[in-house]
Structures are given as C-alpha cells and as structure tokens.
Amino acid sequence: MLTSEVKNIILFDGVCNLCNSTVNFIMRHDKRRKFYFSSLQSDIGKHYQSLLSEQVDSILYIREGKIHSKSNAALYIAKDLGFPWSLLFLFKFIPTFLRDRCYDLIAKYRYKWFGKHDLCRVPTEAERSRFI
C-alpha cells in the first residue's frame, strides 16, 4: 500500500511501551478502520520527521496530507476516533504551547515511567493490514 493512498497515518515510537499501548487502544476503538500505523523508526517515519522543523520522537499524525505533532496529533486522533473520544477535542481551545508543555513532560519521562523495548513493535498477523 502506498502512503499516498492512506489518509490517516499514526507514526509512533516503536520501542515505547506507552506508545505501543496507545496504538493498541486506538486499534481496539477504531471501528471504521480509519487509522494506519508505522513506527517513527521506519523509513516512512523518518521521511515525515524530515519534513518538520523540529524533531518529534513520540507521535505524528498524518491526517489527510497534513502533519500534526504532539498534543495536536493526540487531539485529532481522539476526534477521528469518534464519540466519546472526540469530546477530548474540546482541549483544542487551550493554547498549543500549554498543551505541548504537558505533552513534552510526559514524552520526556515516558521510558522511565512506562518502560521501553529494545526493538520496535512487530505487528501480529491480524494487525499487519493496518501497518505500513
């Protein structure tokens, strides 16, 4: 599958336990199978990271061709998951710099608080169609 054919790609830190748990959560609640996934460590992840002015090492969300990062990525993912998760999009009205400060704090300590793997997540056979 070409990435140009996919409208909603979540790029995540493939070694982060928090990030992997978040991917599992999204896959469980994505009834419309709207999201596709890849690690930031993959070639696709590196490509999208190279398009940004700042380094993001936790999550990117490519939504209909636009790259969202940090708290904006999380909020747009929640919105696209549908009700009740879309209610979290109300936090969009909090200034980005404040939301991103909270996001950056969690991202900074995510390995310490949640742990990490030595290798990137390998999708199961059932999950493979959702990973690019």
Query: In the β-sheet with 8-12, what is the strand arrangement from edge to edge?
Result: 36-39, 8-12, 59-63, 66-69
**Which sequence spans correspond to the domains of the chain?**
3-130
Say whether 57 sits in a helix, a strand or coil.
coil
Please give the CATH number for the structural domain made up of 3-130. 3.40.30
Which stretch of DSSP H or E encloses residue 37?
strand 36-39
CA dihedral 51, 70, 30, 118 (to 10 degrees): 80
Range from 53-62, 79-88, 101-110 carrying the lowest mean pLDDT: 53-62
- Over 50: is that where the pLDDT of 70 sits? yes
Measured CA to CA, the distance from residue 76 to residue 84 in angstroms comes to: 13
Residues 45, 12: Cα–Cα separation, whole Å:
8
- Tell me the per-residue pLDDT of 78-88, one tens digit each, with 9 for 90 and over: 999 999 999 99
pTM for this model (two decimals):
0.88
* Residue range 12-44, pLDDT digits in tens: 988 888 888 899 999 999 988 999 999 988 999
Angle at 40 between CA 120 and CA 1, to 5 degrees: 95
Q: Between these two residues, 2 and 73, which has the higher pLDDT value?
A: 73
